[in-house]
Amino acid sequence: MRRRAEALLGDSGPPQALSPPPPPPPPPTPSLPEAFQRPPAAADGAGVLDVEAPPNGASELPSGAVRRPSVRERLPLWLQDRCAVRPRAVAAVGVVLLAAVGFAGQQYWSARPRAVTVPAVVAPGALPAAATAPAAAPVPGAAVGAGGVAARIVVDVSGKVRDPGVRRLPAGSRVEDALAAAGGVRPGTDTTGLNRARVLVDGEQVVVGAPAQPPPAGAAGGSIPGPGSGSGVGSGPGPLSLGTATVAQLDGLPGVGPVLAQHIVDFRTARGGFRSVEELRQVDGIGERRFADLRSLVRP
C-alpha cells in the first residue's frame, strides 16, 4: 500500500507547502443612521460642513453638509423627557413670576420712605397773648366747682312773678334769666327801674315790684333806683339778707366779727343759701345767745 501511494504521489510532482488558514472575519460594527455617516471623501474633514439640524419648516441642508445631532438629541431619553417644555409648565412658571413680582412690589411700597412733619419748636417768649393772658376773674359770689370752673348759682326770685321761689341757674346768668326761670313778670307790673341785664351772684334775691334797693356788693352793674322794682340786699332799716350779704355787711352785725362773718359766707356757699334763719345755728361759732341777738336782724 505504501508503495502504491508513493507511486501515486510521485506522479503528481513534488509535494506543495500547505497555506496558513485565513484570519477570522472582524466582528460586525453597529451601523449608524444614514444621516450620521460621513462619506469616504470626508474622512479627513475636507469638504464637509458640520451644522446643526435645520429648524422645523426650513429648507434641506446645503449640498456637502452633514447634519449634526442637536443638544437635545444627544441627551439621554430620561433627561429629554424631563426637559421637555409643555404649555402647562410655561403657564405655571408665568404665574409664579407674576406672584413674585407682585409680592416684591408690595414690600417695596410698604417700606418706602415717608415724609414726617417735625413739630415746630416754639420759643418761650413766642407764645400767643391769649395763652399768656391771665384768666378772667370769676363772677363774685358764684360757686366754684372742681377744676376752678364756675358751677351753678342759686338765686331767690320773689315779688310779682308767676312762680316765685329759689332757682338754680348757670354761673353768669342775668336778671332776665332769673325772671324767665320764675315764669316771667305778672301783667301790669312796672319794671322800669329793673336792670334785666345785670349779672347775678350766688345767693342773691331778686324782688320784683318792691321798692328799689341797692344791688349786692360785687354785682356786675346795678339798676337805677326807681319805683315799682328792685333787687339785692336790704341794707336799709330792714333785716339783712343772709343769702346775699357780704363779709363786710355781716361784720357790721352786733357780736359778729370778720372770722364769724366768713364762716357764715362759707356755710351759705356749701349749702346753696339759707332757707330759714334757723339754719344760722348750724354755723360754727354761733350759739343760742348769739343767735337770739341776730334773729331779728337777719332774714333768709
pLDDT one-digit tens code per residue, 225-262? 343 344 443 334 568 888 888 888 888 887 788 888 88
Percent of all residues in the chain with a pLDDT value above 70, rounded to a whole number:
56
139 vs 202: CA distance, rounded Å? 9
What is the pLDDT at residue 241? Answer: 86
Contacts of 83 (CB under 8 A, 6+ apart): 72, 75
Question: What are the residue ranges spanned by the domains of the chain?
Answer: 149-232, 235-300
What global pTM score does this model have? Answer: 0.28
Structurally, at CATH architecture level, domain 235-300 sits in Orthogonal Bundle (1.10)
Write out the three cell numbers for 209.
315790684
Cβ(139)–Cβ(171) below 8 Å: yes
d(CA 216, CA 246): 8
Number of C-beta neighbours around residue 65 at 10 A: 14
Share of the chain above pLDDT 90, in %: 8
Residue 2 to residue 93: CA distance in whole angstroms: 97
Write the pLDDT tens digit of every residue in 43-57. Answer: 444 444 444 455 555
Name the grid cell of 147.
377744676
**3 state SS for 44-98:** CCCCCEEEECCCCCCCCCCCCEEEECCHHHHCCHHHHHHCCCCHHHHHHHHHHHH
Tell me the pLDDT band of 131, cut-offs 50, 70 and 90: very low
Residue 159 backbone dihedrals phi, psi, to 5 degrees: 100, -145
